[in-house]
């Protein structure tokens, strides 16, 4: 119905200073503050109005990653906001509860703008998720975990490191902009909403003591059922919601473990995939809020059927190009018909790691290589890893918002690759 609220978010990008490391105050960028941005939150059915002002010295944009919305509200490279100017997109939330995020998307500058500190979470709620017995007290047992790797110089300033093959890597991991973070845990069961907000680094998250956790949601919302796991790999832009159980007075480290991205040794070195990094210390109180039984069913996921697809498109990723072409803001690469279901077959045609992100839609994964998706990839996704020399097949439905003029983007979410032109544009007509 039309009973949703009207929510206005006033957001101002600004330059600031943050105390992150001991060497000195870091010059940063942020939204409504010195570093990163506020967590935004809306319910399915709400109308969102954003009043975004660019108080930076550079032209930028603000993109709502994972959101189904009209192309003119998307915040991609067609909605540039000059310094001192404002932009006021509006849309209605028409998708399930999920952990989405926002970040700049100015073509060629996205990696730098995110690196300097513009990013934040955008949480969506709905009745189905709220009917479940899950931790959802924000900041208490429902915790945002934005993971980003950075390098600091001797004065504490951010260093834009060499890109090597895949983009900037840092040796210091920040969670929500904090180095060496400690989470004071007050409940037996805590929900971590993890975002890989890094530009190039992938993480394989798990706990130092090997304890398992329950993954309950991927990019676009709840999984059909909780998945018991020891590790979850997230490439840049991907999210996972996990539930971790702790005993009173216990401590455990959330860590990123070396991971197999399917790369040759040299390529693996330039992506940091062999690194072991402590992400955050979790420290439980003496008395913890008791947890109830974990729901065995989370969401009813309507599987998109291959037979319903009217179009199959192929995309080949190689050396900063998609299908041999570099991003051109003046060129529409694909024209999609509103209301249709499509299959996109995306192929990584060389030895570098990539992932695939599509604006406006959440997709389902039909296969990764010859295999059906593992349970953690069986829900709604907007970004997925594409290993070297592999093919992923994605199915998605394009709905109501149409424009012949303003395109949406699809691209690799390794931000350096995206900036170098590994991006294309589609319109929904
Ligand atoms: Cu998260 Cu086109 O981006
Ligand atoms: Cu996006
Ligand atoms: Cu890439």
> 240-249, pLDDT tens digit by residue?
999 999 999 9
Is 248 in contact with 149 (CB distance < 8 Å)?
A: no
CA of 359 to the centre of ligand 1 (A): 7
Ligand 1 centroid–CA 412 distance in Å is 9
In which domain, by residue range, is 321 found?
306-428
CA of 425 to the centre of ligand 1 (A): 12
Q: Is the CB of 381 under 6 A from ligand 1?
A: no
Asked if 360 and 261 sit in the same domain, the reply is no
Angle formed at CA 342 by CA 336 and CA 347, multiple of 5 degrees: 100
- In this structure, which residue's CA is closest to atom 1 in ligand 1? 65
- Residue at 136 is within a domain: no
Question: Does ligand 1 have an atom closer than 6 angstroms to the CB of 63?
Answer: yes
Q: Is there a domain that residue 301 lies in?
A: no
Residue 267: in which H helix or E strand, if any?
helix 265-269
Q: Is 236 in the pocket of ligand 1 (CB under 6 A)?
A: no
Sign of CA dihedral 160, 121, 296, 214: positive
Q: What CATH number is given to the structural domain containing 205?
A: 2.60.40.420
pLDDT at 420: 97
Q: Do 398 and 353 share a structural domain?
A: yes
- 228 lies in the same domain as 315: no
357 C-alpha to ligand 1 centroid (Å): 7
H or E segment at 213? strand 213-218
Q: What is the mean pLDDT of residues 300-320?
A: 96
Q: Taking the alpha carbons of 382, 384, 389, 394 in that order, is the dihedral positive or negative?
A: negative
Residue 125's alpha-carbon distances to 284, 294, 377, 398, in angstroms, are 27, 19, 21, 22
Query: Are 76 and 161 within one domain?
Result: no
Return the DSSP state at 395: E
* Spacing, Cα 68 to ligand 3 middle (Å): 23
Mean pLDDT of 46-50: 98
Domain count, the chain: 3
CA distance linking residue 175 with residue 126, whole number of Å: 27
Pocket of ligand 1 contains residue 359 by CB under 6 Å: yes
Q: Judge contact between 414 and 236, C-beta under 8 A.
A: yes
Q: Which residues contact 207 (CB under 8 A, 6 or more apart)?
A: 213, 244, 252, 253, 254, 255
Decide if 400 contacts 337 (C-beta within 8 A): no
The atom number, within ligand 1, closest to the CA of 418 reads: 2
Q: Are residues 420 and 353 in the same domain?
A: yes
The predicted pLDDT at position 259 comes to 96
Answer whether residue 297 is part of any domain.
no
Q: Atom 3 (ligand 1): residue with closest C-alpha?
A: 65
353 lines ligand 1 (CB under 6 A): no
Asked if residue 279 and residue 164 are part of one domain, the reply reads: yes
67, 98, 127 — which closes off a domain? 127
Which of 93, 127, 161 delimits the end of a domain? 127
Q: What is the pLDDT of residues 360-396, one digit of tens each?
A: 999 999 999 999 999 999 999 999 999 999 999 999 9
What percent of the chain clears pLDDT 90, i.e. is strictly above it? 96
Q: What is the mean pLDDT of the chain?
A: 97
- C-alpha 147 – ligand 1 centre gap (Å): 16
Q: Tell me, using a 6 A CB cutoff, whether residue 78 lines ligand 1.
A: no
Q: Tell me the average pLDDT across 398-418.
A: 96
Tell me the average pLDDT across 4-33: 98
pLDDT value at 1 more than 60: no
Domain assignment present for 294: no
By CB neighbour count within 10 A (0-12 exposed, 13-18 middle, 19+ buried), where does 346 fall?
buried
Structure-model confidence comparison of residues 165 and 42, the more confident one: 42
Q: Is the CB of 237 under 6 A from ligand 1?
A: yes
Kindly give the number of the ligand 1 atom that is closest to the alpha carbon of 76. 2
Q: b or e along 184-200 (b: 16 or more beta carbons within 10 Å of the residue's beta carbon)?
A: ebebbbbbbbbbbbbbb
End-to-end CA distance of the chain: 25
Q: Is 135 part of any domain?
A: no
| Extended strands (E) in 22-159 | 24-31, 40-43, 47-54, 63-65, 86-87, 90-92, 98-103, 120-125, 142-150
Mean pLDDT of 14-20: 98
Structural domain includes residue 1:
no
CA of residue 379 to ligand 1 center, whole Å = 19
Q: Is the pLDDT of residue 427 over 90?
A: yes
For residue 385, give both structure tokens: 């890893």
Cβ(373)–Cβ(213) below 8 Å: no
The partner residues of 24 in beta bridges, in order of sequence, read 21
Classify residue 80: in a domain, yes or no: yes
Residue 341 confidence class, pLDDT cut points 50, 70, 90: very high
Query: In this structure, are residues 298 and 216 in contact, taking their beta carbons and an 8 Å threshold?
Result: yes
- d(C-alpha 200, C-alpha 271), whole Å: 7
Measured CA to CA, the distance from residue 213 to residue 240 in angstroms comes to: 12
Say yes or no: 62 and 94 in one domain. Answer: yes
Does pLDDT of 113 surpass 60? yes
On whether residue 132 sits in a domain, the answer given is: no
Residues 408 and 322 placed together within one structural domain of the fold = yes
Q: What pLDDT is attached to residue 2?
A: 58
Same domain, 11 and 109: yes
Residue 393 shares a structural domain with residue 338 = yes
User: What Å distances lie between residue 285 and 54, 190, 236, 281, CA to CA?
Assistant: 42, 12, 32, 13
């Amino acid at each position: 119905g039309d009973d949703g609220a009207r929510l206005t978010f006033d957001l101002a990008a600004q330059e600031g200073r943050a105390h992150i490391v001991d060497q000195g105050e870091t010059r940063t960028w942020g939204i409504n503050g010195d570093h990163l941005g506020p967590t935004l939150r809306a319910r399915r059915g709400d109308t969102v109005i954003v009043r975004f002002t660019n108080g930076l010295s550079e032209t930028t944009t603000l993109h709502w990653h994972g959101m189904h919305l009209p192309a003119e509200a998307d915040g991609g490279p067609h909605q540039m906001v000059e310094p001192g100017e404002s932009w006021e997109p509006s849309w209605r939330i028409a998708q399930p509860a999920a952990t989405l995020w926002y970040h700049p998307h100015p073509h060629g500058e996205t990696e730098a703008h995110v690196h300097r500190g513009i990013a934040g979470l955008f949480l969506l709620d709905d009745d189905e998720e709220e009917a479940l017995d899950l931790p959802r007290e924000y900041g208490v047992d429902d915790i945002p975990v934005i993971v980003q790797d950075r390098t600091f110089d001797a004065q504490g300033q951010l260093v834009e490191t060499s890109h090597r093959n895949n983009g900037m890597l840092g040796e210091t991991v920040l969670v929500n902009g904090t180095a060496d973070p400690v989470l004071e845990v007050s409940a037996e069961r805590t929900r971590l909403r993890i975002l890989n907000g890094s530009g190039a680094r992938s993480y394989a998250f798990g706990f130092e003591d090997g304890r398992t956790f329950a993954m309950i949601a991927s990019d676009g919302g709840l999984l059909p059922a909780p998945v018991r796991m020891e590790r979850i790999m997230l490439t840049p832009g991907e999210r996972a919601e996990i539930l971790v159980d702790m005993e009173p007075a216990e401590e455990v480290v959330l860590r990123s473990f070396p991971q197999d991205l399917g790369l040759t040794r040299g390529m693996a070195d330039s992506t940091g995939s062999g690194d072991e990094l402590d992400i955050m210390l979790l420290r439980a109180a003496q008395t913890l809020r008791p947890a109830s039984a974990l729901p065995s069913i989370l969401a009813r996921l309507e599987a998109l059927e291959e037979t319903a697809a009217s179009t199959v498109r192929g995309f080949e990723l190689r050396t900063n190009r998609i299908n041999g072409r570099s991003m051109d803001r003046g060129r529409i690469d694909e024209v999609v018909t509103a209301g249709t279901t499509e299959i996109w077959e995306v192929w990584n045609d060389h030895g570098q790691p990539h992932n695939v992100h599509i604006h406006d839609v959440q997709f389902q994964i039909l296969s990764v290589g010859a295999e059906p998706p593992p349970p953690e990839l069986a829900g709604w996704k907007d970004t997925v890893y594409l290993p070297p020399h592999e093919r992923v097949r994605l199915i998605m439905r394009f709905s109501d918002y149409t424009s012949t003029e303003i395109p949406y983007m699809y691209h690799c979410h390794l931000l350096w690759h995206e900036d170098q032109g590994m991006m294309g544009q589609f319109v929904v007509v």
